[in-house]
Each structure stands twice: as structure tokens, then as C-alpha cells.
Amino acid sequence: MKLMSDSTAEPALDVSPHLAPVVYLTDAVAAVGGRLKDRPEDFIVEEIPAYEPSGTGEHLYLFIQKANLSTTEMVDILARHFGVPQHAIGYAGLKDKKAITRQVVSIHAPGRKFEEFPSLRHELLSVMWADMHTNKLRRGHLKGNRFAIKLRGVPLRAAMDAQKALRMLERTGVPNRAGEQRFGLLHNNHLVGRALVLGRFDEALREMLGPARLRVAPAEADVPSQTAAREAFARGEYAQALELMPHGARNERRVLEALLRGADARGAVLAVGEAQRSFYFTSLQSAVFNAVLDARLRAGTLDALQEGDLAFKHDNGAVFDVDAEAIQRGDLPSRLSTLAISPSGPMWGARMKRARGETDEAEVAALRAFGLEVSDLESFARQDPDAFGGDRRPLRVPLSYPDVEAGSDEHGLYVRCSFELPPGAFATTVMQELTKPDRAPPPAKDRATLEAAPSEQLADAVRAALQGGGRPRRPGELPTDIPGLGQGAS
């Protein structure tokens, strides 16, 4: 069996997910360079919960610690262990895969307690505490995230430039770009989402499993292990493709298994499950948002409001129209400078509040650049009202409690950057502002870095320059390393 091409397919669009900054807000600070995520324990993130569980209710709340697992993989493991559908599991935010992450999840288990289930034993996942609550945990139900990130392949002196850049971002806010992890290994999750919105399931399959995508994969993507499997898929040899597909490629294997059971393109794509399909839709929204953000950065209006904009209030997430009356009040500049408000951009969906005038025209143009019309979203929403509702997203976000430390461990020298971000913001975007990968020299190897380490006098100078430069640490701030994390995952 071999799938035919879509009769409605169009020539491939040049729809980059806009991963890298077009303009750095920290342009005046030298590039730090270095390597991110050498190992999961170099990237630690912990949720700051919005509330504590009440102790009663139908929803089991778990504080999960995971290593080298995506959020969708975690959901799949929990659904199978607790014997519930994926939609019974709630989480406040998506978390990085190649990282040590701690987050709260909810599981709808009416009439049952945590101790009634078998012990959850998994080498990459553990439960730190369990409680009960009255409602499902929804996306955005958190105060923010704490990050502790080690940069490798940099000299200790790089800590001073990292400190300068973080201080600048604390004053100006961080461009709220969706990070590269939102777009998947091959940076094409948004294209799968676009195909689903348009009902082009053959196209979605080609994006998920086709070999052509490997030829435009990011240089850092680990794709050789999938090459033979994808070529077998293109030949219509699904059994061989499944045999060759790495076991870690869970979604690809699910699709191939569905094809072998006789599913058509639609049934095969839907086999990935609700959580993963939602991730594809969010990736599409994020790609268009990044394009709008880039345009505002080029225009120099990331921290400015103009008539027709929708201003985002950081204290409660509400938006308001920027009309002539709001501009005449005269308080917008002070509220912008204190990061009380920011311009917003579109996370497109049928129920999203739209801007007006030139702002709306620019946002519609960004959507069209991805081969979509507003009417496409409206048509899709009629079929699946909950899948693609839409929202407004601030174009910049505050960064708080920045801190920088330099040191060494058994893996070599590092510069560790710690900070907090509000829900939905990406630490990788912050780190791009520090590392400026398109400007920095190639990161040094660990051994070469150690051999070229600065003298003890310079190390003392770095520590002195940083002393007192950070902000007060929050109670319960992330430890520099967490015992037991990453075992078997590093």
C-alpha cells in the first residue's frame, strides 16, 4: 500500500519558524558563545506553582521530575501507568526534553487515591510528591519557571558579559520568541500543524515521515538513525520503515503502526494522540507569532504601542485596545518602561481577539505567508472547537532574579545563568541573547578550555566582578545540582 499525493497540494512554501533573532536587544554586549545542553543536568527548570492542591477532589496532583523526556512522552507514560486517556492528564506548561525538569501534572482519577495505584517506576521519571485537588491543571496555571543553565566551552571571563546581558534584559524585557524546541527535531512541527488545519493528511504524513525533510534538517539534528526508515516509508514499505525507525521516535512509530493496520492518511496521523496534535497546532501558532515578533524588532517597536495595537497587562494577562483615548491619557510610556504592559502578538485562532488597523493587517499578512487565511482557521474551528481557539501573547516578557556564577566540575569549566521567566516564555531565547551563536567563535572543547583556563588571579577578578551583581535569590531557589537526577539519562 502506498499513499497518493494530495490533489490539493501546493508547492512547498518557504515558511521558516523564525528560530533565531533578527535583532539582538543586547547588541551592545559581546557574544558569550558556548554550548547549551551538553547533558540534561546542564539545563534545570522548575515550575513555580500558581496554587497548592487542596487535599481533596477527583484530580490527583503529582510533582514530576523527569530527565530527557518531552512533555508529550511524559503524558503518554502517565496515561498508560494510571490507565486513563491522555485528555485526563493536565499540565501547566510544556517543558524541554533535553533537561532536568520539575513540574506539576494532574490526573483525573475520581474515587481513587495515589496509593491505590502501583508504584511508578521509570528510569527517566519519578514522583516527588502527590496530593488531591478539585480541578484539572490547565495550560498557564503557574506563576512562572526557575531556570539554572550551564554554558560549556567558555572561559570564566565570559561570566562578566553574561551578567551584563542579563541585567540589560532585566531592564528591557526579553523578546518572547517561541524557542526551537517548540518546532521539533526537524524544525517542522508547525508545517504538520498547518497541514492538519487544511485537512491535508497526506501532506502531514510527508512532513512527519518523508525523507525530503532530512535534507533541510538543522545541522544539530540527530537524524542519521532515521534516514533508512524514512526512505522505506517513501517507497511505501511501511513494515520495513517501522523496523528501521528508532524506538525513541514514538510518534513516527505510532503512525507507521496505524498504516500497517490499514488506516488511511487521516487515521494514521490521528494515531499520534490528542496531546501531540495540540503540540503541532501550538507550533503553527508560534511560528506565525515569531514572524510578527521579528517584524516588530526590525521596526524598533517591540517596546512601543501604536493605535490599533492590543496591549498586554503582565499582572493579569488581560489585553486592552490602544485607541486614541488610551494614547491621550499619556500613561502608556511609563507603564511600558516599567514592564507593566507590552505590545501583544497573535497566537492565531478562530476565537482570538484581533488587533485593528495596520497592526491587524500586518498580523494577517504573517498568517498568509504561511499559506493560511483567517477563514481556514474558522473552518477548522467548526470541526474541532477546542483545538485552535487562539490567544494574544506578549511580544516581550519580564526577566527576574538574574544571577551568574562561574566554576568547574568533572565535565570542565562552565558559566551558570539563573533567572525566572513568566509562563510560556523560553529560556533558550534568553540564552540566544547571551550567546549570539551567529557571532560567537566556535565553543572550545572541554579539555582545551581547561588548558586555556585563566589564572587564579583572573578567576578571582571574575568572582569579584560578579559579587553582589546578581539579584536576591528567591526562597527555595533551584540548587546547582540535584542528587539523583539524570541517572541513566546523561
pLDDT at 370 over 90: yes
Q: Are 182 and 286 in contact (CB under 8 A)?
A: yes
| Of the candidate ranges 10-14, 391-395, 432-436, the one whose mean pLDDT is the lowest | 10-14
Q: What span, in angstroms and rounded, lies between the C-alpha atoms of 176 and 179?
A: 9
Q: What span, in angstroms and rounded, lies between the C-alpha atoms of 233 and 242?
A: 9
Q: What span, in angstroms and rounded, lies between the C-alpha atoms of 196 and 271?
A: 13
Query: Strand 100-108 and strand 89-91: pairing?
Result: antiparallel
Instruction: Report pLDDT digits (tens) over 409-448.
Output: 999 999 999 999 999 899 999 999 999 988 877 776 654 4
Instruction: Report pLDDT digits (tens) over 104-117.
Output: 999 999 999 888 89
pLDDT at 354 over 60: yes
Q: What span, in angstroms and rounded, lies between the C-alpha atoms of 488 and 490?
A: 6
Q: pLDDT value at position 445? A: 63
Q: What average pLDDT does this structure show over 66-77?
A: 90
- Average predicted confidence (pLDDT) for the chain: 85
* Residue predicted with more confidence, 8 or 174: 174
360 is catalytic: no
Phi–psi pair at 26, nearest 5 degrees: -95, 35
pLDDT at 408 over 80: yes
DSSP string, 61-95: EEEEEEES--HHHHHHHHHHHHT--GGGEEESS--
Q: What average pLDDT does this structure show over 71-79?
A: 91
Q: Cα separations (Å) of 269 from 78, 187, 199, 266, 339?
A: 22, 18, 11, 5, 42
Q: pLDDT value at position 181? A: 83
Q: pLDDT value at position 458? A: 46
- The sign one gets for the Cα dihedral 417, 419, 422, 423 is positive
Q: pLDDT value at position 170? A: 97
What percentage of residues in the chain have a pLDDT greater than 70?
84
Q: Are 400 and 430 in contact (CB under 8 A)?
A: no
Q: What average pLDDT does this structure show over 391-420?
A: 95
Phi–psi pair at 340, nearest 5 degrees: -75, -35
Q: What span, in angstroms and rounded, lies between the C-alpha atoms of 401 and 472?
A: 6
Q: Which H or E run contains 31?
A: none
Angle at 11 between CA 6 and CA 13, to 5 degrees: 120
In order of their start, the domains of the chain are 51-139 (3.30.2350.20), 182-275 (1.10.1510), 303-394 (3.30.2350.20)
Q: Which of 96, 376, 391, 446 is catalytic?
A: 96
pLDDT confidence tier of residue 185, bands split at 50, 70 and 90: confident
Determine the residue type at 245. Answer: M
Q: What span, in angstroms and rounded, lies between the C-alpha atoms of 485 and 77?
A: 18
pLDDT confidence tier of residue 1, bands split at 50, 70 and 90: very low
Instruction: Report pLDDT digits (tens) over 447-458.
Output: 444 444 444 544
| Residue recorded with cell 538543522 | 218
pLDDT at 396 over 90: yes
pTM beyond 0.85: the answer is: no
Cell reading at 131: 496530593
pLDDT at 176 over 50: yes
Q: pLDDT value at position 417? A: 97
Q: pLDDT value at position 487? A: 33
Reduce the DSSP state of residue 196 to 3 states and report it: helix
* Residue predicted with more confidence, 446 or 259: 259
Q: What span, in angstroms and rounded, lies between the C-alpha atoms of 377 and 399?
A: 33
DSSP string, 107-174: EE-TT--GGGSPP--BTTEEEEEEEEESS---TT-EEEEEEEEEEES--TTHHHHHHHHHHHHHHH-E
Q: What span, in angstroms and rounded, lies between the C-alpha atoms of 362 and 288?
A: 11
Neighbours of 13 (CB within 10 A): 12
